[in-house]
Amino acid sequence: MRLARVLINTIQCANSVVRLRESVLNRRKKIIKKLQKKDKKANAKLHKSSKPVYVSKAEREKLAEQTESVQRDKEQLDSE
């Protein structure tokens, strides 16, 4: 009977140690994930995308009109 109680106590102690270790590992894992996320954001800020900035259709039309008017003005100056 006494041996059974000792075994039960050792098993309970072992379970609590395992739970404690898991909680420490989980806490450590969370901290590591948080720091990795922070590093990833900082790295993303350093390496800007080489993708060109989006220009709306209306802006493209305005730019096209401006270039056409500049070309017309140059042609008129050349012809005079």
pLDDT tens digits along 42-74 = 888 888 778 888 999 999 999 999 999 988 888
Q: How many folded domains does the chain comprise?
A: 1
pTM: 0.42
Whether 80 shows a pLDDT value over 70: the answer reads: no
Residue range(s) defining the domain that contains residue 71:
2-79
Q: What is the pLDDT of residues 3-45, one digit of tens each?
A: 677 667 777 777 777 777 777 778 888 899 999 999 999 888 8
DSSP per-residue string spanning 44-65: HHHS---SPPP--HHHHHHHHH
Using CA atoms, how far apart are residues 70 and 80, in angstroms rounded to an integer? 16
Q: Which two tokens stand for residue 37?
A: 């996320």
